[in-house]
Structure 1
Amino acid sequence: MAGIDTALARARAHQRQGRLAEARALCRDVLMRFPRNRRAGQLLAGMEVGPPQHLLDQLVALHGRGDSAVATEEAARLLEVYPENFVLWQILGGALMAVDRVSEASRALGQAARLRPDLPEAARNHGVALLAGGALAAAETALDHARDLAPGDPLVLAHLGTLRQRQGRLVEAEESFRAALDRAPEQVEALIGLAYLRMLDGALEEAMALLDRALSLSPGAPVALNNFGVVQQALGRSDEARGLFARAVAAAPRYAEAWRNLAECPGPTDPQVMDRMAQLRTDPATTPEQRSHLCFGLAGQHDRRGEVARAFPLWVEGNALRKAQLGYEIGQDVALFDSLRALAAALPSALAPPARDAPVPIFILGLPRSGTTLVEQILTCHPDVAAGGELEVMNRLVAPFLSGAKKPTAQSHGALRDAYLDQLRGLSDGAPFVTDKMPQNFRYIPLIRAALPEARILHVVRDPRACCWSQFRTFFSGAGLGYANDLDDLVSYHALYRALMADWQARDPGCAHRVDYEALTRAPETQTRALLTHLGLGWHPACLAPQDNARHVLTASMAQVRKPVYAGSSRDWQRYASLIGFAFDALPGGGVS
């Protein structure tokens, strides 16, 4: 404490001598090290020089009535006179956010946070701006600081939940959202965030209830409107989805994710939508994250028009932006696959199958865009099979084993099995089987076999070129598929996947039943009968009409599953062969070797 006392004594001496810059610097130095030091905060606030209060009130009034562009001009003008005024920087940052000048807002709010490192609202606002601009690491630093200053602030907790969600840290995201709602049950951002997590778990009724509640509190909330549109799309209600996406972009004209979703709705291309997205893409105020969404949406529209030469460079640009945002390198997955092999080598003997009070899981796995959704759609037409969709639960349960927080023992595997089956019970509606079509569960096959020996495992394979191309042209919102944003990484990852599956088969022959996507689309009845026989299910004719399955689909295949089974989609990549060039030469000519 003697060091703090000495620093504040020097600051007061500088203040008496009129050397305010030096005095403020000493106070800020104390607050950077001890943000809750009240004496330093009070001394710093007392030295703040700013415009008359009525001018600040006028700026706030301008911003409040929607004249944020004017407010930015006036605040910038006043800052030329009062460059060290915290309130002016806060007002400028808020006004810039309102007119979607996110990068400038981040700088303004960063300056405010530098001026007052002791104020939680300064750190929180800076973190929100960084999050909006896609600077996730910097946003984490700012929001963690805000939480340290105000541990129970529901706004900070909600923002941290959104950050964790975008980082793919879904367990922590849910904890943050629930903590925010415990303190403030009407916290709109937390309601929207929790609804998104429920969507990922396939609990659409719960997600819609949460979104309804959010929209009743904030009727024009663009993220709630967008996510409600995603739910409607999953339920096959394309017209309702299109209307919700249109409302979202009307409420937030620069909301790039909603523009992408609007562009990807089934139906003819929309020149007005394309023109607006093209304008936003070239706007200097558009952030890299926003531009990535816009590139994917525009590429899809050009592809529908047959404009291959215009679509391809947009996908290249959008993927490059997404890869940079995620900070992905193929070495990350090389290390992960090494860890998976080490975990498999340490597994105990398989557990005994549980009592028949739980449904039997059917894992449908492989690579994204390999046909897993079609297989699930076919199987869940059978009355004995309930749809689980792409469940995140296995990723969450395996994470502690990969991090070293848990050791692979019979006891820990029993806990994993119990937690997983609890999730399935809530989805089964009495059916004896429940699907889990998270494709990348292929990584966990030995662990699944050890913890859930009764499980059925289906490995869906597709022409590698078709599969890689389909991933490249798809915007994946999760953080775990960074390899899909680069053609060379896709080829490298496919090699990692083939090698890992070969290892699993060598370790446990017959651990997964192979389902060939191309064979299934060429001869659906023959292949479907064989698949049902393998699973021990009787024949049911509804399985030949998966397009009539009314279940929800939240994957990138949500539009295709509403069509009858058709062959030929695996040749689509050939339209782009001249532009892809030699990138796919290292892939096998078809299927997994």
Structure 2
Amino acid sequence: MKNNNYPVAQQLTIPDALNQAYTHWNAGQAQQAEQLCLRVLQVLPQQPDAFHLLGLMAHAYGKPDLAIDYLRKACLFPAVPATYRSNLAEMCRQKGLLTEAEQVARRAVEQEPQLIAAWNNLGIILQESGKFEASLECLQRVVSLQPDNPEAFNNLANTYKRLDQLDQAQECYRRALALRPDYAEVHSNLAFLLNDLGRFDEAVASAEQAIDINPQLVDAYFNLAQIEMSRMRYADAQRWIDALLAFAPQHAGGLTARAQLLVNGEHYHDALACVRQALTIAPDSANAHNVLGKVLQALGLHDEAALAFDRAATLPGTVAEQALAARAVLLMETGNKEEAIAAFDRTLERFPGSVRVMAARSDSKTYRTDDPDIAAMEAALVRAVKPAVSDQMSLHFALGKAYLDTGNSERAFFHLDKGNALKRASFSYDAARTGEWMQKIAAAFTPALMQKFKDAGAASERPVFIIGMPRSGTTLVEQILASHPAIHGAGELSALRHAVELAGIFPDDIARWNKEDFARIGRDYLSRIDGLAPNALRLVDKMPANFLYAGLIPLVLSGARIIHCRRNPVDTCLSCYSKHFAGEQLFAYRLDELGAFHLEYQALMESLRKVSPADRFLEVDYESVVDNLEGEARRMISFVGMPWDDACLSFHKTRRIVRTASVSQVRQPIYSTSKGRWRRHAAYLGPLLNALGIEQPAEDAP
């Protein structure tokens, strides 16, 4: 370069000074290297080599902003080595500046097409930007130039995985491990791939092997947590996230994963604090903004949730498709069905042919035989490159609904059986133990106990509990009640469960509780709902699983009312079997287990009905509501102590948030097509009918 003969000191030229600076740096003598670079810049303020070395040093010492500033100055000169631009691109990528990173990396490969590091960096940048086809092209070039480079195969595998080409991804990961068996990052990445393939135990073993090799590999802990979350082992997932944050407390991905776990546990305010902390560390994290949207959605802050999903969709990364679909579902929940349909359409314009979006919008439509979504989803399941197991599940459930809509029972149950089997294989569930637990609950609530503590609870007329099996009409009943101007429908609250869990082990500890213990649980519950619609005279808590606490509610909340929703057992179970629930309904994914659970539920409710205060316990049959809406609605409004209001008959027009699997149904007037629905599909319900002790109708027998 010109001016290289300017002296830095009497005995050093600029090239000599820079050579010595690099020598000091390579020897670990950072202070001496920095001093020499600064002396060079005193003489030649725009010397790019000095800026480059200062940038490398700043990066090594955890000063990314300063490092990028130095590298930008170094790269102002057209003639600097392509390596400088490649290094700047990588630093920008690490900082999340993907647009600048891509621009600089492209300059590097244009300047020196044989610079493998630059192609590698560009491939990773494009991968993280969601430009997977372009990333694949770059990384395939790297592998062709360096066929024995395990890092190159790892990077290429990551892009194949993003493209859902899982077989090619696995082949590349295996190739990388063949070249370098102790490559911890590849063991971790392979674990995440195996999770997508539904090979959960192998996935856990691979991630644990990564940690054995490198105990501080944050991605391995993160992947282990994701694996355990995918099979609903939340305690194990929490253990891995805690281990990660113990040595990397400012890891934004770990904090975001913790927030997701808190959402799963319905600790929404804690989740909000956690994800906001992640965003202070990584304000441009698309994943963190997406999780923020989920948290805000769960808290009922729908306008803020929409903004968070929109922000996630505009940031570089791989969650835009998921965020946009979530945004459309949010519109469904708020009653804006036409806007939701338009939002799904716009998402498909951005991600043409996305079967994930097609599956996500299945509840927003009634399918016709010629619906193009059906053919597209069918094709996705039979193509050579299979979707991830989670996507296969979603597709099977969506197709099950589609064929139920079109009246094709054979195809509907082909897909429902497949989807349920995949889901059931992802977690452990002990049907016998669950039945024993419900029997223990029934035995705990004796007439003597109910009489002794009948006045123990916190006195409040405000709570109304709607309980029953999922898909038994609980959402419909809530919507009718919530259409009354003095009644607020709060949705499915976890408040009672949290209050009970805080008090002890249920039902084991009931025999040891005294009057104050019952009152404390009631006060705890009331404190959790106090901020919800404070002006409403009645607040409806529609958590179906609160049927487990139906005996406890009168003892902890002496003024509370319970509405128990009932529906034909086979129709109820069929409706459960046809839904891919967002929450934990572990009993719902095998027909025989569904039937067994329903029998235990019926026995429990029969026992609790006998000991419940008659004036505080009402049973409502779904079929009766369908046949006599006004009569049943008036009975319910009278039961909760409110004057009649005609708005309750126009429940489908009530604009409120509905966050359940029944979101689309309660936006319609009453219809009777779900009554006795199971008979049309009886030939495919053998295990369920056997478990329930119901004979298969002769005319429907296969």
Q: TM-score, normalised by structure 1?
A: 0.78
Give the letter for the 2:394 counterpart.
H
Q: How far 1:297 sits from its partner (Å)?
A: 0.7
Q: Are the equivalent residues in 1 in contact too, given 2:457–2:519 (CA < 8 A)?
A: no
Deviation at 1:484, TM superposition (A): 1.0
Q: 2:413 aligns with which of 312, 332, 335?
A: 312
C-alpha distance in 2, partners of 1:253/1:188? 21
Other-structure match for 2:16: none
* Corresponding residue for residue 561 of structure 2: 456
Q: How does 1:14-413 map to 2 (within 5 A)?
A: 54-65=115-126, 66=131, 67-71=134-138, 73-74=140-141, 81-83=148-150, 87-88=151-152, 90-101=154-165, 108=173, 109-111=185-187, 114=210, 117-123=214-220, 126-127=223-224, 130=227, 143=241, 145-162=243-260, 165=263, 168-171=264-267, 175=270, 178-185=273-280, 186=283, 187-215=285-313, 221-248=320-347, 257-269=356-368, 271-283=371-383, 284-334=385-435, 336-337=437-438, 340-341=441-442, 349=453, 354=458, 360-401=462-503, 403=505, 408=513, 410=515, 413=518
Deviations 1:388-414 (A, max 9, x none): 112232233333456589985555544
Distance across 2 between alignment mates of 1:365 and 1:216: 41
Aligned to 1:527: 632
CA distance in 1, matches of 2:549, 2:230: 34
Q: Separation in 2 of the partners of 1:77 and 1:170?
A: 49
1:230-266 Cα deviation digits (max 9, x unpaired): 1110122222222333444555679665332222212
User: What is the aligned counterpart of 2:641 among 536, 541, 555?
Assistant: 536
Q: State how far apart, in whole Å, the 2-side matches of 1:424 and 1:125 are.
A: 34
1:368 partner amino acid: P
Matches within 5 A, 1:432-581: 432-478=537-583, 480-508=584-612, 510=614, 512-581=617-686
- The 1:53/1:393 distance shift into structure 2, 3 A limit, reads farther
Change (3 A) 1:246 1:419: farther
Question: Offset at 1:161?
Answer: 3.1
Secondary structure in 1 matching 2:550 = helix
Q: Match of 1:35? A: none
Residues 553 and 184 from structure 1, CA distance in 2 versus in 1: closer, same or farther, beyond 3 angstroms? closer
Cα contact 1:263–1:300 (8 A) shared by 2: yes
Question: Which stretch has the larger CA shift, 181-190 or 110-119?
Answer: 110-119
8 A contact 1:296–1:315 mirrored in 2: yes
Larger CA deviation: 120-129 vs 326-335: 120-129
Measured in 2, the distance between the counterparts of 1:343 and 1:193 equals 40
Q: Distance in 1 between matches of 2:661 and 2:425?
A: 22
DSSP-derived class of the 2:426 partner: helix
Deviation at 1:363, TM superposition (A): 0.6
Root mean square deviation, CA, Å: 3.6
Distance in 1, Cα, partners of 2:230 & 2:553:
39
**Residue type of the alignment partner of 2:273:** R
- Superimposed CA distance per residue, residues 477-513 of structure 1 (whole angstroms, 9 cap, x where no aligned partner): 11x2011111101100001101111222234353621
For residues 571 and 268 of structure 1, what CA distance do their matches in structure 2 show? 21
Unaligned runs of 5+ in 2: 1-112, 174-184, 189-206, 696-702
**Aligned AA (2:187):** Q
Deviations 1:407-437 (A, max 9, x none): 8555554454344323433332511001111
The 2-side partners of 1:396 and 1:291 are apart by: 34
Q: Structure 1 residues 332 and 397 mapped into 2: Cα distance closer, same or farther (>3 Å)?
A: farther
**What's the CA shift for 1:456?**
0.8
Matched residue type, 2:288: A
C-alpha separation between the residues in 2 aligned to 1:251 and 1:132? 29
Alpha carbons 1:126, 1:139 under 8 Å: kept: no
1:217–1:80 distance in 2 versus 1, CA, 3 Å: closer
Classify the secondary structure of the residue corresponding to 1:515: strand
SS in 1 for 2:331: helix
Amino acid at match of 2:423: R
Is the contact between residue 366 and residue 405 of structure 2 (CA under 8 Å) also seen in structure 1?
no
Whole-Å Cα distance in 1 between the matches of residues 258 and 142 of structure 2? 29
What secondary structure sits across from 1:428 in the alignment?
Answer: coil
The answer to whether the 8 Å contact 2:275/2:292 transfers is no
Give, in whole Å, the separation in 2 of the partners of 1:271 and 1:566: 23
State the one-letter code of the partner of 1:68: S
For each residue in 1:71-106, what CA deviation from the matched residue of structure 2 results, as whole angstroms up to 9, or x when unmatched? 5545666785244xxx44652343233222457758
Q: Secondary structure at the match of 1:386?
A: strand
User: SS of 2:484's equivalent?
Assistant: coil
- Report the AA paired with residue 228 of structure 1: R
The answer to whether the 8 Å contact 1:466/1:570 transfers is yes
Equivalents in 2 of 1:544, 1:425: separation in Å? Answer: 28
Would the aligned equivalents of 2:431 and 2:597 in 1 still touch at CA under 8 Å?
yes
1:316 Cα offset (Å): 0.7
Compare relative contact order (CA 8 Å, sep 6+) and give the higher one, 1 or 2.
1
Deviation digits for residues 540-561 of structure 1 (CA, Å, limit 9, x no counterpart): 1121221221222121211111
Separation in 2, partners of 1:94, 1:418: 51
AA of the residue aligned to 1:60: N
Q: What is the rounded CA distance, in whole Å, between the counterparts of 1:203 and 1:508 in structure 2?
A: 36
Mapped contact 1:143–1:159 kept (Cα < 8 A): yes
Specify whether residues 570 and 250 from structure 1 end up closer, same or farther in structure 2 by C-alpha distance, changes over 3 A only. Answer: same
Amino acid at match of 2:411: R
Q: Check the 8 A contact 2:355/2:395 in 1, yes or no.
A: yes
Q: Quote the Cα distance in structure 2 between the aligned partners of 1:153 and 1:367.
A: 40
Alpha-carbon contact 1:68-1:96 (below 8 Å) kept: no
Q: Is the 8 A contact 1:361 1:455 kept in 2?
A: yes
SS at match of 1:223: helix
User: 3-state SS of the aligned residue for 1:570?
Assistant: coil
Say if 1:429 and 1:105 are closer, same or farther in 2 by CA, change over 3 A. Answer: farther
Deviation per residue, 1:93-148 (Å, 9 max, x gap): 43233222457758945426739614434425644875798696897676555334
Q: Which piece of structure 1 moves more, 142-151 or 548-557?
A: 142-151
The structure with the larger Rg is 2
AA aligned opposite 1:98: R
